[in-house]
Amino acid sequence: MPRRRAILTDSERELLETEEKTDRHYQAVSRVRRKINEELTRDVEILEENHSDLLEELREVVCETDNS
């Protein structure tokens, strides 16, 4: 089964991992910000209303803190 993406595409990952700040880098930042503020927000609302167990799993991954 092919690997699926979460928030970032492979291209966005590459652009955000590089230290070179090109126009493409800033475009990727803008796309990711829009996904977080629009699509992810709606996804969380759907999970909250219909699958609280999945929302809790998401929160555990996203909100995980390193206590070391």
4 within a domain of the structure (yes/no): no
31 within a domain of the structure (yes/no): yes
- State the pLDDT at residue 64: 81
Position 3 confidence tier, pLDDT thresholds 50, 70, 90: confident
pLDDT of 68 above 60? no
45 within a domain of the structure (yes/no): yes
68 within a domain of the structure (yes/no): no
Nearest residue to 40 via CA among 13, 10, 5? 5
34 within a domain of the structure (yes/no): yes
If you ran DSSP here, which 8-state letter would residue 58 be given?
A: H
33 within a domain of the structure (yes/no): yes
Residue 28 contacts residue 11 (beta carbons within 8 Å): yes
Task: Tell me the pLDDT tens digit for each residue of 21-51.
Answer: 999 999 999 999 999 999 999 999 999 999 9
Count of structural domains within the chain: 1
Better pLDDT: 4 or 34: 34
2 within a domain of the structure (yes/no): no
Angle, CA 52 vertex, CA 41 and CA 5 arms, to 5°: 50
43 within a domain of the structure (yes/no): yes
Domain with 43, as residue range(s), is 10-62
Residue 61 contacts residue 37 (beta carbons within 8 Å): no
Residue 44 contacts residue 58 (beta carbons within 8 Å): yes
- State the pLDDT at residue 6: 84
